[in-house]
Amino acid sequence: MLNLRKKILVAIDGTPQSDKAAEEAVRLAAGTGSQFNSKIYALLVLPNDLSSTYTDFVPSTPVTETEQWNEIRQRIFYVIEKSAMDHNVPLELVVEYGEPAEKLLEFSEKEGIDVIVIGSSGKGFLQRRLKGSVSHKVASSAKCSVYLVRG
């Protein structure tokens, strides 16, 4: 049976590439027609290595527990929230800590995601080798379709 209702995961990090990916994810969800109600999960992965303070025995507070978090969250998720609301697409915001590619892959398997939408800066071979590419890791390891959006 053809399932037109899709679960779409989009990687969000506040960059112009992730904003373009967010807009594409909404277009994909809205394109299935309102009767099928595709859902978007916007996943922000924050680094799990919390910055240490001047003493090792007093850990710093995670960014999601600081007073500035609400402002940061609004800025990072602004494009996806506005676009999803404009197109009446269900949206769930998710924040996790860890390595981005691993968390995206784990989340996609756990939630039964149909397609992952991720921005790619299109960096060359050398930079990908030196720094690694989240989009490359996800595209080569995902068990579902991956939609790369060039920035």
Does 46 score more than 80 pLDDT?
yes
Decide if 94 contacts 7 (C-beta within 8 A): no
- What is the pTM (predicted TM-score) of this model? 0.82
pLDDT per residue over 125-146, tens digit each?
Answer: 544 454 458 888 999 999 999 9
CATH 3.40.50.620 fits 7-150, yes or no: yes
